């Protein structure tokens, strides 16, 4: 029974990682930059939703929608103000800027919401935990909905990228920025759209994560952000199915090593697995090998 | 050429003098109301702690609690010894803490009431030991703070003592329960308590049924740890951790339908004031803490009321610790027979004498008749509280 319980926890945690990892992987795919502020957008989503439900008394689902809108706008603004002016200046400048934006968001949250942690009210508070096998197996509504949300998001996003015009434009920009521009694709618009989608998903991830693990602090997004980034690299950065597989595997490894090996070493084991995968397959599980253009 | 050199020398000398004069002014201006010649009647207390950053809650409480005590003492005896209190921010960072300490020394601090948190305090304690500056920390509970420093004392329980006291209490009152521990292995405070708890609990032949760890991340998934507790049949979980991860553990246990008794230490203080937390989940939680604002003790009630009036919030344990610190330092200083104009190293030796003399007892909000060991640890009786109807009830 420990096995099944751990599997469910692992899938649920992995789904959160996967949804966050999508933001990293899509942004990297299209603009070849690591958006380290992505984890902090999750935190903003959590706080917005918390404030709307606690202080305004709004329904949790409506609060989630508003949080998605706020985070989408935040993503677009960050891209417009911090990253776009630096496009074409070399990856190091953008990387440092991303770290700066991350600190900016954390400290702004500290200023607005203070250092005291809050406890997030779960989106699924009215629903009962399901029990099976004589109470041995427990499935919380949080894990169930997180796993379902992850699957739905993956299907919708894959369809969007492969079937719609905007999605195809995104793929074209990711493949060859200059050529896409010559073909009449608005590169700036495509990149903005990518940031918008990634940040909107970050809000979903934030609310789902805080529903399951309810502590909300200005640094709440930092650790899941790093883990999700790892998941994106694990699965092959730039690849959407890679983010999903990477996230799920990472979540399962983490929970299983806690349950069967050691709670102290779980993080070490997770990152050791990452190193092994990268040694064997440097592009990640589903990553494509791109030959350097000269 | 020669002329130029002399000018340079002159400028340097002059600026040295100005800096000197300015620091002297800085020291004097703290004395506030008293006139020039009377500066001798003011004893300068300094404090260092996090007033901003993630641990700001603790530093601010210490600042406010000490301020209340200083105001009370000054108002009670306007013609006698007056206290001046200056608290500097260290953001819970060791390097900034040492800088803040040095600034206070330059400003004429004579006794250090601090610092607030363990890691910075360990760094500052080493400096204070070199300087011979007497220090009484309200809340830095790690053993490294006092180790090897004969002039650094703690007003709070040291971490090892909390572990031992908790283990003894649980053995005595819950002898029939199966006990497990979840602790933070990335945190000195938590693992320090856990080590002593384990050795004390297992000393009598008992065994901990399950021990699980997590590392720092308060927002982690605890289902693996909780499942391990549940499978081992644990019905009392000892949580030597802060209240933030504890609230997360309680929420997740509740979702699993697992209802053990939770037993915490002083870091659990604050869980009832956590915004958004369903306090019914903390019902029945026991904790070892020297202070609760809900106590019916008259002194405590007076303090809580004064604190609420002045700062608009209920004081936490750190505020009471700081309040007691100021009174302990004030009483001990009276016993030294020294004048407030004495230098800090003179005060230091005399204060060590009083604190370790054997007949000095300080009473306050957090305990009656506290006494100190030469090692710097405090002897006081812990209070065990249980949360009932959203309030701490003393056992």
Average pLDDT per run of 10 along chain B, which is 395 residues long? 56 55 44 43 93 80 95 91 93 91 95 90 94 94 90 90 90 90 87 91 89 80 89 93 89 89 87 84 88 85 94 89 95 91 93 90 88 89 84 81
From its phi and psi, is residue B337 left (phi > 0), alpha (psi between -120 and 50) or beta?
Answer: left
Q: What percent of chain A has pLDDT over 70?
A: 98
Spell out where A73-125 has E strands: 118-119
- All residues of chain A having their beta carbon less than 8 Å from the beta carbon of residue B116 are none
pLDDT in tens, A178-196: 899 898 999 999 999 999 9
For the segment A245-275, what is each residue's pLDDT rounded down to a tens digit?
999 999 999 999 988 888 888 888 988 988 9
Task: Report how far residue B240's alpha carbon sits from residue B264's, in angstroms, rounded to the nearest whole number.
Answer: 6
Q: Tell me whether residues A214 and B247 touch, CB distance under 8 A.
A: yes
- Is A71 inside a domain boundary? yes
- Best B223, B267, B282 residue to mutate vs chain A (most A CBs within 10 Å): B223
CB contact under 8 A, B276 and A116: no
**Higher pLDDT among residues B291 and A16, named by residue:** A16
Q: Which domain holds residue A144?
A: 2-120+138-280
Over residues A25-69, the pLDDT tens digits come to 999 988 888 899 999 999 999 999 999 998 998 898 999 999 999
Which single residue is written with the structure tokens 């002083």?
B266
Contact list in B for residue A107 (CB cut-off 8 A) is: none
**B248 to A215: CB separation less than 8 angstroms, yes or no:** yes
Shortest alpha-carbon distance between residue B193 and chain A (Å)? 17
Q: A215: distance to nearest CA of chain B, Å? A: 6
State how far the Cα of B152 lies from the Cα of B114, in Å rounded to an integer.
Answer: 9
Q: Which residue of B has its CA nearest to A253?
A: B224
**Residue A148 resides in a domain:** yes
What is the spatial distance between Cα A224 and Cα B334, in angstroms, rounded to a whole number?
A: 54
Residue of A nearest to B246 (CA): A215
Closest listed residue to residue A150, CA positions, set A224, A247, A62 = A247
Contact B215 A213 (CB under 8 A): no
- When CB atoms are compared, the residue of A9, A117, A264 closest to B244 is A117
Structure tokens at A85: 């002016």
Q: Is A121 in contact with B274 (Cβ distance < 8 A)?
A: no
Q: In what order do the strands lie in the sheet with B42-49?
A: B82-89, B42-49, B111-112, B134-137, B152-154
Q: Report if residue A132 sits inside a domain.
A: no
Helix (H/G/I), strand (E/B), else coil: B35: coil
Burial track A150-170 (b if 16+ CB lie within 10 A, e otherwise): beebbeebeeebeeeeebebb
CA gyration radius for chain B? 23
Give the pLDDT confidence of A61-118 residue by residue, as tens digits: 999 999 999 999 999 999 999 999 988 888 889 899 999 999 999 989 988 887 778 8
| Domain contains A81 | yes
Separation in Å, CA A227 to CA A13, A178, A258, B298: 11, 32, 16, 51
Q: Which of B227, B245, B256 sits opposite A259 (nearest CB)?
A: B227
| Element (DSSP H or E) covering residue B165 | helix B159-173
Closest chain A residue to the Cα of B242, Cα to Cα:
A117
User: Nearest chain A Cα to B212, which residue?
Assistant: A263
Residue with tokens 């970050």: A202
Q: Does A268 map to a domain?
A: yes
pLDDT at A1 over 80: no
Mutate to test the interface with A, among B221, B247, B274, B282 (most CBs of A within 10 A): B221
pLDDT mean over A132-159: 88
The token duo for A239 is: 């690849």
The answer to whether B245 contacts A215, with C-beta atoms less than 8 Å apart, is yes
Give me B337's structure tokens. Answer: 């027979």
CB contact (8 A) between residue A215 and residue B228: no
CA distance A251 to A232: 12
| Contact pairs from chain A to chain B, CB under 8 Å | 104
A128 part of a folded domain: no
Quick one: angle between helices A266-280 and A222-235, nearest 10?
A: 30
Strands B42-49 and A137-139, sheet pairing? unpaired
Reduced to 3 states (helix: H, G, I; strand: E, B; else coil), residue A137 is strand
The whole-angstrom distance between A97's CA and the closest CA on chain B is: 22
For B11-166, strand residue ranges (E) read 42-49, 82-89, 111-112, 134-137, 152-154
Question: How close A180 comes to chain B (CA, Å)?
Answer: 42
Q: What integer pLDDT is reported at residue B87 of this predicted model? A: 95
Give the pLDDT confidence score for residue A290 in this predicted structure: 60
Count of domains in chain A?
Answer: 1
Is the Cβ pair B274, A118 closer than 8 Å? Answer: yes
Neighbours of B246 (CB within 10 A): 27
Which chain A residues are within 8 Å of B217, Cβ to Cβ?
A: 223
Please report, for residues A100, A188, B123, the alpha-carbon distance to residue B145 in angstroms, rounded to integers and kept in the order given.
35, 56, 8
Helix (H) or strand (E) holding A131: strand A130-132
A293 is a domain residue = no
Asked whether the predicted pLDDT for residue A208 surpasses 90, the reply is yes
Q: Which two tokens stand for residue A81?
A: 């103000």
Of A6, A118, A254, the CB nearest to B276: A118
Contacts of residue B218 in chain A, CB cutoff 8 Å? 117, 215, 217
Instruction: Decide if A211 is inside a domain.
Output: yes
**To 10 degrees, what angle do helices A240-256 and A2-31 make?**
150
Token pair for residue A275? 């190193």
CATH number at residue A81: 1.10.3470
């Amino acid at each position: 029974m420990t096995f099944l319980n751990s599997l469910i926890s692992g899938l649920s945690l992995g789904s959160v990682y996967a949804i966050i990892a999508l933001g990293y992987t899509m942004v990297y795919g299209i603009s070849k930059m690591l958006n380290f502020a992505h984890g902090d957008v999750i935190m903003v989503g959590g706080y917005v939703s918390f404030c709307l439900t606690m202080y305004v008394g709004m329904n949790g689902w409506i609060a989630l929608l508003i949080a998605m809108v706020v985070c989408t706008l935040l993503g677009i603004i960050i891209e417009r103000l911090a990253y776009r002016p630096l496009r074409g200046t070399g990856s190091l400048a953008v990387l440092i800027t991303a770290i700066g934006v991350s600190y900016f968001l954390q400290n702004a949250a500290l200023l607005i919401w203070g250092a005291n942690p809050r406890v997030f009210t779960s989106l699924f508070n009215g629903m009962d935990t399901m029990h099976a096998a004589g109470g041995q197996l427990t499935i919380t509504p949080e894990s169930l909905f997180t796993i379902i949300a992850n699957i739905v998001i993956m299907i919708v996003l894959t369809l969007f990228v492969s079937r719609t015009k905007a999605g195809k434009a995104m793929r074209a920009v990711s493949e060859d920025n200059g050529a896409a521009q010559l073909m009449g694709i608005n590169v700036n618009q495509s990149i903005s759209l990518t940031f918008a989608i990634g940040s909107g998903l970050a809000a979903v991830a934030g609310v789902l994560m805080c529903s399951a693990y309810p502590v909300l602090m200005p640094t709440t997004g930092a650790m899941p952000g790093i883990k999700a980034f790892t998941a994106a690299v694990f699965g092959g950065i730039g690849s959407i199915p890679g983010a999903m597989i990477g996230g799920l595997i990472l979540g399962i490894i983490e929970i299983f090593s806690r349950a069967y090996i050691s709670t102290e070493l779980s993080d070490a084991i997770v990152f050791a697995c990452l190193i092994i995968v990268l040694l064997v397959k440097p592009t990640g599980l589903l990553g494509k090998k791109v030959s350097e253009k000269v | 050429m020669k002329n130029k050199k002399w000018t340079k020398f002159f400028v340097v000398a002059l600026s040295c003098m100005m800096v000197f004069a300015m620091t002297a002014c800085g020291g004097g201006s703290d004395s506030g109301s008293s006139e020039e010649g009377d500066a001798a009647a003011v004893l300068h207390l300094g404090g260092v702690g996090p007033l901003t950053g993630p641990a700001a809650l603790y530093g601010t409480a210490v600042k406010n609690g000490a301020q209340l005590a200083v105001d009370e003492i000054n108002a009670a005896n306007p013609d006698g010894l007056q206290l001046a209190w200056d608290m500097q921010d260290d953001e819970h960072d060791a390097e900034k803490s040492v800088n803040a300490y040095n600034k206070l020394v330059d400003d004429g601090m004579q006794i250090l009431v601090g610092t607030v948190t363990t890691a910075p305090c360990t760094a500052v304690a080493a400096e204070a030991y070199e300087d011979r500056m007497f220090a009484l920390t309200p809340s830095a509970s790690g053993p490294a703070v006092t180790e090897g420093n004969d002039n650094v004392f703690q007003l709070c329980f040291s971490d090892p003592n909390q572990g031992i006291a908790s283990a003894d209490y649980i053995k005595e009152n819950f002898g029939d329960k199966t006990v497990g521990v979840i602790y933070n292995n990335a945190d000195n405070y938590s693992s320090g308590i856990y080590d002593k708890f384990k050795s004390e609990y297992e000393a009598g032949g008992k065994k901990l049924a399950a021990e699980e760890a997590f590392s720092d991340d308060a927002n982690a998934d605890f289902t693996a740890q909780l499942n391990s507790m549940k499978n081992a049949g644990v019905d009392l979980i000892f949580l030597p951790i802060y209240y933030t991860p504890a609230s997360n553990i309680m929420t997740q246990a509740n979702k699993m339908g697992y209802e053990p008794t939770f037993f915490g230490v002083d870091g659990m203080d604050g869980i009832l004031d956590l915004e958004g937390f369903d306090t019914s989940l903390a019902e029945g939680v026991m904790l070892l803490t020297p202070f609760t604002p809900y106590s019916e003790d008259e002194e405590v009630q007076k303090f809580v009321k004064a604190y609420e009036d002045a700062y608009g919030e209920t004081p936490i344990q750190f505020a009471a610790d700081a309040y007691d610190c100021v009174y302990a330092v004030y009483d001990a200083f009276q016993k030294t027979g020294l004048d407030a104009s004495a230098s800090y190293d003179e005060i230091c030796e005399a204060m060590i004498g009083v604190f370790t003399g054997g007949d000095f007892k300080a009473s306050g909000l957090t305990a009656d008749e506290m006494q100190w060991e030469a090692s710097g640890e405090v002897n006081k009786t812990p209070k065990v509280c249980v949360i009932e109807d959203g309030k701490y009830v003393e056992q």
